[in-house]
Structure 1
Amino acid sequence: MKITMRTTVVFSLLLMMATSGVSTSPGALADRVKCGTCKALGAVVKGVVKLTGSSMLMRSKAYRLCSVVPVARSVCEGYIDSWAEPLTYIVQNSKLSSAEVCAIYIDACPRPSLDIDATLYLRKDPTPAEIKIRDYLYPSPATPGLTVLHIADLHLDSLYREGADNSCSEVLCCRADNGFPTNASRRAGRWGDYTRCDSPYKLVESMVQHTAKQHPDVAYIMWTGDNAPHDDWRTSREEVLSSTSSITALLQRYFPGIPVLPVIGNHDSAPINSFPPKEVWNAGFSSAWLYSMLANMWKPWLPPNAAATLENYGYYSLLVRPGFRVIVINTNVAYKLNFWVLMTARGDPSHQLRWLTEELRAAYLTGEKCHIVGHISPADRDILPAWSHMYYKIIKNYRTTVRGEFFSHTHVDEIHLSKDDNDEAFAVTYVAPSLSPWKNVNPGYKVYTVDGSRGAQSTWEVTEVARWTVNLQEANKLAGNSPRWYQQFKASEEYGLASLSPQNWSSAVQSMLLKDHLFTKYYRNLSGRALVQASCDAECRQEIICNVLTSDQSSPRQCQRARATYQQAVREGRANPRAVVSASQPTPWF
């Protein structure tokens, strides 16, 4: 019997789920599988599922592959159990060809065009005069403003146990069932551990207590998701809601009366990464339980219209101050490891992009300025390229209305720059560090100064960014009731920025590409200067700068320009290709 070669590579997807981590691209993992094998396997899986309609059969076949993935068998089988039924449904109903699916998950496969069928409400492109006015009026770091707190990726693990094994065979360790080794280097620290371990409750409470005391003038808090721990293979609804409820209670206790803008992360669902489109909610796969519970939990912070939108779609918008709006988007619907994208890759799930342009158009017409907040940045390499491109197009069109973008997810402290066809930077995206030390990072958070206290003269631009952190190695060695939180740097001082305008950031990134001392600072700041951070050579440097400059995942243009600039500088003797940044070396003073 001839089987039509269509749609998904279920076994490969399950393998990626079992071996992926927050800092690992599914495309990089799947490069081990050649495109031809991927397409053929997709055809076989499609045929078997079409013939039998059996998730049990798919589950039993997938179990056999657990012997080839570098994780405990229980972890591999747990991922398969959690996704077998949804993937069976997806295989039966996805309209993507196997070539299109393979291109999503395997970097080496040719990428076909996947146009999104979405209606966008765009304005006329900003005039050069509008753009110049924004640049000219960009306030300096000395401008008084509002204090805004950004916390992210707390990954509260209520089962964390000091002294438990930090190097177990599972994705998440430091729990009692991992055992308590006698080897001191394998024993989980009091405040957390750099290996495969999440945040103990005492670390979460310490951060919330510290921020309430250190920043009593905070205007509002951005809390950008991922509250549950990394035991992804056995995540339950109860665990997700319990983690979120515990953090909600802490924030309400220590920040009474302070607005909190919560965001749903990819770890805040069960199964992990599962955000089915509304079209399948009646088929037994739904996010209604999650959205409704969170909307109810967060009612004290959200006005009724925002809570209602959150309950229906997982996103919302609210007016924070007169003339200033925050728009919270749900980028999980475009995340590659949310396998429901195999049914929505050609569409606009919940019409979110259309809604975003409606909000921005209304803001533009009334003179409001906006910040956009979410969990996974649309510039992230694991966002669908077509969705990333549409978002880039929207921000470019509303570049004089959108004054800041804020995300998290990667666990590191980084930025993305958006540039137009003339190589002019027009937007900066700030990615917050995680509180969780998983993996190899110091716990941290960010504080922004926003130009919003000058009445009608307020621009709502970000004028300063401060990174606060805990040296986890130091905290675990010292006796005491609380770790030492300290301000690690301010962006303007660290990178020599006269202002935090997109143009000034662009100049700084160009210098990072070629000058060792600036890149060394940026690289070490990614992890909060954790001494367990790996070294970074010339190829690593180019990859990191490419990540900063690639805000549109459908186009490698900015990355190609950066690589060409670096290679030319090497040929001309202006860059040292043998330079290696080590986490253990002190940052140069020059």
Structure 2
Amino acid sequence: MKIFVFIFIVQCLSIEDYIWVISDTHFDSKFAEGGYAHCKSIDCCHEDSVPKGNNFETAQFCGHHSCHAPLETIMSGMDFIKSHENISKNVIWLMDVIPSDMFQMTKKRNLNDLEMFHNELKRRLPGFTVLPSIGNHDYFETSFWAFPPKSQWMLNNMSLWWKDWLSPEEIATTKKGGYYIHQLPSGINIISLQTAYFDIMNSHSGEYPKTDPGEMMMWFNATLKVLREKGQKAIIISHESIGLKITGMMDVNPYFTRDFLELYKEYSDVIIGHLAGHNHIEGYRLYPGEDPFYSVIINPAMTPKGSNPSLRLYKFNDKHIIDYTTYYLDLDQCNAEHKYTWVKSYNTQEEYGLVNLGNSEIGRLHYMLKNDNVAWSKFMKHFSTELPNSCEGNCRKQRLCSMENMRESGYAECIKK
């Protein structure tokens, strides 16, 4: 009886906490209402955009689904978070601030846009702790993150912009390689990794594993070991994650994938979960497909390019990420009303009946999406955050195969089955 009471008390003492997550906050400082939304460049909706063909559709007040957003549209999400500061004053920011077209960027514009966004974020969220994780687009040139010391100029700037949120010790590792560990008031640790180094399109990514950028992987291993010795837990955050794009193409360097998975498996008693962004869609990845020891939740984007702007509120304790609630801005409604109205999209427990978002439950969700057409319809409804999106037959198989494989060869075998 005493043992039962003790276990009950320990379970009750498991602290539940909340944290906001924003990802892919691409804004376009050249956005112009009335600019052509379909143009001959990668980034459109500019004052000087030249229409493509006979499509003369133009950008409106809040933005357009073919373009990255005006700053105010992104910041309306921060205003929503600020209005709910009683829930949490901690925000995970999976970055990617700069728009897509590297040919329209300069080093000066890159730094100016990043500084502008950081300053506005601090102004909209006073008293908040923002925990960033660097994106591939946040470097000049886009997606070509050089390993330190060649990227020291940008790491120095990030350290300067983040000093209002992070401790001197956290800034020191940020300056060394763009990574850090931060302990939340609840005692849970957030480990932010700089995975843009390993982007498969980055010409520098092949330098790994011969070179460990900023000694990040050595630090990651040592940090997890210390957390285990202290009996502490951690959530991993990164802009990019291991695994495959929905096309079946690898996202990051395969050697990094191998080493990350080995550490994740070795320290599965320490790591609560992994949160990432980068792909601008609703999703997750797991490995292996059955009885997974690894899973990552892919967060939707704040940019309206290809979807409605979205953000999330996560609930977690020292055992699991429990659930999340997605909120979104209906861009068409925003343009019609000239008003930023953020509303609830769905909650994972309510929508899928998941007990938590641990590896086993993500595995159960994956099984549901393979075998339950109703669950798949719900998933696709949220895929681009309430924008119409149909994917059946081979399309469905390709997406499911991409979620459960870490290598292109495994994806190819999955497609054949």
Question: Do they superpose with TM above 0.5?
Answer: yes
Aligned to 1:234: 104
1:261 matched to 2:125? The reply is no
Letter in 1 for 2:386: R
Aligned to 1:167: 38
Which one of the candidate residues 216, 236, 240 is aligned to 1:352?
A: 216
Aligned to 1:338: 202
Letter in 2 for 1:499: N
Aligned to 2:292: 425
Conserved 8 A contact 1:389-1:553: no
Q: How many residues align?
A: 404
Q: How far did residue 320 of structure 1 move?
A: 2.3
Aligned to 1:526: 383
Secondary structure of residue in 2 paired with 1:428? strand
Task: Map 1:185-200; keep pairs closer than 5 Å.
Answer: 186-195=57-66, 197-200=67-70
Secondary structure of residue in 1 paired with 2:21? strand
Q: Would the alpha carbon gap of residues 139 and 443 (structure 1) be closer, same or farther in structure 2, given more than 3 Å must change?
A: farther
Scaled by the length of structure 1, the TM-score of the pair is 0.64
Task: Map 1:189-228; keep pairs closer than 5 Å.
Answer: 189-195=60-66, 197-228=67-98
Q: Would the alpha carbon gap of residues 494 and 393 (structure 1) be closer, same or farther in structure 2, given more than 3 Å must change?
A: same
Q: How far did residue 498 of structure 1 move?
A: 2.9
Letter in 1 for 2:215: H
Structure 1: distance between partners of 2:173 and 2:349:
37
Letter in 1 for 2:392: D
Aligned to 1:498: 355
Aligned to 2:17: 146
Unpaired runs of 5+ residues, structure 1, are 1-136, 452-458, 568-590
What is the CA deviation profile of residues 497-555 of structure 1, one whole-angstrom value per residue up to 9, with x for unaligned ones?
13333212211211211221111111221100213x4x3131111111122212x3376
Q: How many percent identity over aligned positions?
A: 22
Aligned to 1:548: 403
Structure 2: distance between partners of 1:433 and 1:239:
26
Q: Would the alpha carbon gap of residues 310 and 554 (structure 1) be closer, same or farther in structure 2, given more than 3 Å must change?
A: farther
Structure 1: distance between partners of 2:348 and 2:212:
36
Task: Map 1:365-404; keep pairs closer than 5 Å.
Answer: 365-380=229-244, 381-404=250-273
What is the CA deviation profile of residues 322-373 of structure 1, one whole-angstrom value per residue up to 9, with x for unaligned ones?
6421111011111111111233354433332221111100101111101111
Q: Would the alpha carbon gap of residues 386 and 209 (structure 1) be closer, same or farther in structure 2, given more than 3 Å must change?
A: same
Aligned to 1:248: 118
Q: How far did residue 318 of structure 1 move?
A: 2.2
1:441 matched to 2:312? The reply is no
Letter in 1 for 2:20: L
| Regions of 4+ moved over 6 Å | 137-140
Conserved 8 A contact 1:385-1:554: no
Conserved 8 A contact 1:194-1:437: yes
Structure 1: distance between partners of 2:407 and 2:205:
16
Choose between structure 1 and 2 for higher RCO, CA contacts under 8 A separated by at least 6 residues: 2
Which one of the candidate residues 306, 312, 316 is aligned to 1:450?
A: 316
Aligned to 1:575: none
Unpaired runs of 5+ residues, structure 2, are 1-8, 245-249
Structure 1: distance between partners of 2:153 and 2:11:
44
Scaled by the length of structure 2, the TM-score of the pair is 0.90
Q: How far did residue 230 of structure 1 move?
A: 1.6
Task: Map 1:25-64; keep pairs closer than 5 Å.
Answer: none
What is the CA deviation profile of residues 191-227 of structure 1, one whole-angstrom value per residue up to 9, with x for unaligned ones?
11111x1010120221111121134321411011101
Letter in 1 for 2:337: A
Q: How far did residue 242 of structure 1 move?
A: 2.4
Conserved 8 A contact 1:151-1:223: yes
1:362 matched to 2:223? The reply is no
Structure 2: distance between partners of 1:253 and 1:474:
26
Q: How far did residue 184 of structure 1 move?
A: 8.5
